[in-house]
Amino acid sequence: MSGLPEGGMRFMRKLARPYFNRRWDIHERGQGNVPESGPVIFASNHIGWLDGPLLFVRLPRPAHALVKEEEFTGRTGRLLNFVGQIKVSRGRNDTGALRRADAALAAGQAVLIYPEGSRGEGEFERFKGGVSWLALTSGAPVVPVAVFGTRQPGEPAEARAPKGARIDVVYGPPIQLPMQGWPRDRGMIEDAGEQIHDHLRAHILWSKNVLKRELPGPLPRGSSDG
């Protein structure tokens, strides 16, 4: 299968990487946990605005991220389409977006998803089932990603990390579930979700212990969850 276009993505990653390297003090750990080829699902926590651009540029492999449909307007929307991101509606079960992501995985590409569904504490307390569905339909390994430093305690979701801020990105050991053909019942997807959810939360705890660093906590009252 041909998958989704990646030319624009690869061009922009190469173009933007020097800027990110100059702007922030970025540290990565666990890159060896990421398969060098074949389908892979990156499942990241989501604490601030910078998470998306940061991971777009710094993930070990170019990934087609599921991005909220509200971003696909004007110049930003044209850019997101150019770099192969996947428009997703957060207000409903968007099977079209999931099928595009599944097509990318079937072609051996990488997909980035935020199982929490929106920005927040980043502890994986919330968990939406799209990553479970993709893991079962594709059989792709799910690599947990923990991001620290893109938002500070008390800051709103839209806050920008200041120049020179230390940002940590930690890639954990993948969890891989057997591919399940049709039919896939609700119980099967819920069981997969529990396994993946536990794995993601364990990775956050491990990362906090290793880095000796905490996540920023809840968004302040009145802050949009992005």
| Exposure of 48 in the CB half-sphere (CA atoms within 13 A) | 23
Nearest alpha carbon to residue 145 among 178, 110, 177: 110
**What are 87's two structure tokens?**
């428009």
Nearest alpha carbon to residue 87 among 75, 99, 119: 99
pLDDT exceeds 90 at position 223: no
pLDDT exceeds 90 at position 135: yes
Confidence of residue 1 (pLDDT cuts 50, 70, 90): low
Distance CA 4, CA 23 (A): 30
CA terminus-to-terminus distance, the chain: 34
Mean pLDDT, residues 91-118 taken together: 94
Distance CA 120, CA 216 (A): 9
C-beta separation of 80 from 72 below 8 A: yes
pLDDT exceeds 70 at position 127: yes
pTM of the entire predicted model? 0.96
Query: What confidence score (pLDDT) does residue 156 get?
Result: 94
Could you read off the pLDDT of 40-63 as tens digits, one per residue? 999 999 999 999 999 999 999 999
C-beta separation of 151 from 82 below 8 A: no
Integer CA distances (angstroms), 216 to 30, 77, 126, 160, in order: 22, 29, 16, 13
Distance CA 87, CA 178 (A): 27
Q: List, as own/partner pairs, every contact residues 56-59 make where C-beta atoms lie below 8 angstroms and the sequence separation is at least 24, other chains included.
A: 56/9, 56/12, 56/13, 56/16, 56/83, 56/112, 57/13, 57/16, 57/17, 57/20, 58/17, 58/20, 58/26, 58/28, 58/169, 59/34, 59/110, 59/112, 59/145
Please state, for a pLDDT cut of 70, what percent of the chain lies above it. 99
Nearest alpha carbon to residue 29 among 143, 122, 168: 168
Please state, for a pLDDT cut of 90, what percent of the chain lies above it. 88
Q: Is 179 helix (H, G, I), strand (E, B) or coil?
A: coil
More confident residue, 203 or 185: 203
Give the number of other Cβ atoms within 10 Å of residue 78's Cβ: 11
